[in-house]
Structure 1
Amino acid sequence: MLNVSFWRKLWSLKLPGKILHFIWRVCRLCLPTAVDLRNRHVNVETMCSWCHNQEENGIHVLFDCVFARAVWEAVGLSDLIQFKPDENVFDVFLRIFTQCTRSQAVAMSLFCWQIWNRRNKWLWEHINISVYGTKATAIRMLEDWKSAQQEESTRRRGQNVGSKVWQKPIMGWVKINTDAAVIPGTHQIGTGAVIRDEDGRFLHARCMDIAGEWSVKEAEARSLRDAVGWTVAMGFIKCIFELDSKIVVDACNGGSGRSNFYAIIAECVEDFKHLDEVRVQFTFKSANVVAHTLARASISMSCFHEWQGNAPEFISDVLSFDLI
């Protein structure tokens, strides 16, 4: 277990400390599975409490149980999961981390953590969390942690930009909030946008899933680009576009480059010319929850959806909360 490059890669992953520590315990063969507890002379049933088909060791609970396999299939990482009869769980992680990208390593660690938590909920509380629930909870946890890190970083730099609560646009304008949801290690993103008027009333919303490999900033830029084109097509002329990606906001307000990211930004800027007045501004995730909810929902819906006049039920509470 003295593979230096493996441990360096693990500890360099941008994940909450408790997840990194969990993977460290797994790879040190310290996970308290049923087989491990029996080896420590604890009198427990060693068969898996979920499938009852095999003994519960590290490989089984995280990768080989029917539930674990369903999770890896759902998040598009099943091709990475391979193991041999004589291997332990560290051997599996070592091979996967050697072959996979950094984003896939983040996803592997994140979903292993959530699979283990789900196992404990079932074993000790008899609570059955679905594959979808396991996937959604893991993604939300990572997003919340990243948001907290971003806000703390902004606070430390003394940059009091953006708002932590949603604010109505000025009279005669509409505000369009946009967001993107990126699932680490998969080939899919979700985008969402919502338009509200000067009184905070819901006007329009849309969400869609998009296949392909996208970085977070590219996904955020794509979400904005689609929202701009959509807004122009509906005839709005005074628009505030608001999102929680400062990188995208800064790029729209004067950045330049040759990457795919900047190509998307250039398309946004070109479409701005069809509006009489336009602003692109940063806000915190706490003030962008409606767009975020739409972006996440698009992944589970797996197609394009648009609403006009009447908001979908799954964002109605958040819309009301923004007006408090």
Structure 2
Amino acid sequence: MAPVQWDGLESLRGKFWLWWTELVEATIREKGEEHITFTVNLLWHIWKDRNEINFNGKGRDPGVVVHKALTEWLEYQEVQYEGKEEGRESRLEAGKKGSWAAPNKGWIKLNTDAALNQQSNKAGWGIVARDWKGKLVATWACPSFTCSVPVLEEALAIRTAMVKAALEGWERIIIESDCKVVIDRIQGDSDDVLISTVLQDIKLLKQNFKECCFSFVHREFNSVSHTFARYALNLGSIVDWKACFPVWLLDIAQADVEEQLLQDV
């Protein structure tokens, strides 16, 4: 059972809007906002499983659905806690320098990042795709069960993003990474023995798109993919979202783009 109890809401079954109003007003309770976030995430998982049953004829045991929602939420809370102070400082600094920049109309921007855990010999790749309006299009948190040097993992994250973009059928993309070494290697003619094979793959993958370019971005403007890369370190398989996203993900994604949108008004 999920570790969140909503006392008094049992009597509101069948009255969704009254139930939802009471739930939202629970922000005044201890850890109320966290409980609401988890509940919304759980409802999203239930809705997703309901769609699987209706459209694909397959579903999961209710206990599995709850466990997955809980595990996902706890892992995200852990990642957020670990990076809270670091994130606050970088966000303040970022506000002085600039913000995430939207691509041209008709383009998709994919921000990528890699995280490493040498002790567990795992790596994680975070990929966040947004359109020219700053709207989330898709996200991927990809665990890797081998851990190499950072520059190679960053290159692998970029290659994975290009594969995902090609499968989505996107024609014009920008790949943005905070690893300047890899971006410089992709854009230049110089080779790097550590990532030469991956660089060749990236150049071949470019042929899948009408237009494909690469750009470097400072870490403070790449925070969402960085969060996803760290999140992937705790996963056993790829977690992706498309079209429909949990509230906590929308919140952290909006933090990257809201200043850019204000500047465009």
TM-score using structure 1 length: 0.50
State the match for 1:290 in structure 2. 224
In 2 relative to 1, CA 272–297 (structure 1 residues): closer, same or farther, beyond 3 Å? Answer: same
The answer as to 2:202 corresponding to 1:268 is: yes
Q: Partner amino acid for 2:152?
A: E
Indicate if the aligned counterparts of 1:293 and 1:315 stay in contact, CA closer than 8 A.
Answer: no
Pick the aligned partner of 2:240 from 295, 306, 313: 306
Report deviation, 1:213.
2.9
Distance in 2 (alpha carbons) for counterparts of 1:170 and 1:223: 23
CA RMSD in angstroms comes to 2.8
Q: Is the 8 A contact 2:185 2:191 kept in 1?
A: no
Cα deviation for residue 230 of structure 1 reads 0.8
1:172-187 to 2 correspondence within 5 Å? Answer: 172-187=106-121
Q: Deviations over 1:136-161 (max 9, x none)?
A: 699759xx59x98xx9xxxxxxxxxx
> Partners of 1:137 and 1:183 in 2: how far apart?
17
| Residue 220 (structure 1) aligned to one of 154, 157, 171 | 154
CA contact (8 A) 2:79 2:227 kept: no
Matches within 5 A, 1:156-305: 164-257=98-191, 259-305=193-239
One-letter code of the match for 2:141?
A: C
Indicate if the aligned counterparts of 1:139 and 1:183 stay in contact, CA closer than 8 A. Answer: no
Q: Which amino acid aligns with 1:245?
A: C
CA drift of 1:218 comes to: 0.6
What is the CA distance between 1:263 and its match in structure 2? 1.2
Q: 1:173 to 1:315 in 2, by over 3 A?
A: same
Q: How far did residue 266 of structure 1 move?
A: 1.4
Question: Matched residue of 1:195: which SS?
Answer: strand
Contact 1:256–1:262 (CA<8 Å) still a contact in 2? Answer: no
Please say if residues 209 and 304 of structure 1, whose CA atoms lie closer than 8 Å, have aligned partners that are also in contact.
yes
* Structure with bigger gyration radius: 1
Shift in CA distance, 258/177, structure 1 to aligned 2, threshold 3 Å: closer
Unaligned runs of 5+ in 2: 1-74, 259-265
> Unaligned regions of 5+ residues in structure 1, if any?
1-131, 152-162
Deviation string 1:54-87 (CA, Å, 9 cap, x unpaired) is: xxxxxxxxxxxxxxxxxxxxxxxxxxxxxxxxxx
Q: CA deviation at 1:165?
A: 1.5
- Report how far residue 311 of structure 1 moved: 2.3
Equivalents in 2 of 1:136, 1:319: separation in Å? 15
Cα distance in structure 1, aligned partners of 2:82 and 2:196: 27
Superposition pairs of residues 1-324 of structure 1, within 5 angstroms: 140=83, 164-257=98-191, 259-324=193-258
- Where 1:294 maps in the other structure, the secondary structure is helix
Asked if the contact 2:170/2:209 (under 8 Å) is kept, the reply is yes
* Structure of higher RCO (CA pairs closer than 8 Å, 6+ residues apart): 2
Could you tell me how far 1:255 is from its partner in structure 2? 4.1
SS at match of 2:226: helix
CA distance in 2 between counterparts of 1:304 and 1:201 reads 22
The percentage of counterpart residues that share the same residue type is 24
**Is the Cα contact below 8 Å between 1:183 and 1:189 reproduced in 2?**
yes
Please say if residues 241 and 280 of structure 1, whose CA atoms lie closer than 8 Å, have aligned partners that are also in contact.
Answer: yes
Q: TM-score, normalised by structure 2?
A: 0.60
Contact preservation (8 Å) 2:116, 2:147: no
Question: In structure 2, the residue corresponding to 1:301 is in which secondary structure?
Answer: coil
Distance 1:201 1:136 in 2: 23
Report the CA distance shift for 1:164/1:136 in structure 2 as closer, same or farther (over 3 A): same
Once residues 302 and 256 of structure 1 are traced to their aligned partners in structure 2, the CA distance between those partners, rounded to angstroms, is: 36
Q: Equivalent residue of 2:234, what SS?
A: helix
Counterpart amino acid of 1:237?
E
Report if the CA contact (8 A) 2:124-2:141 is conserved.
Answer: yes
Deviation at 1:300, TM superposition (A): 1.6
Structure 2 distance, partners of 1:200, 1:216, is: 28
Aligned to 2:53: none
Displacement after TM superposition at 1:313 (Å): 3.6
Could you report, residue by residue, the CA deviation over 1:201-221 in whole angstroms, capped at 9, with x for unpaired residues?
A: 111111111011310111100
| Equivalent residue letter for 1:215 | V
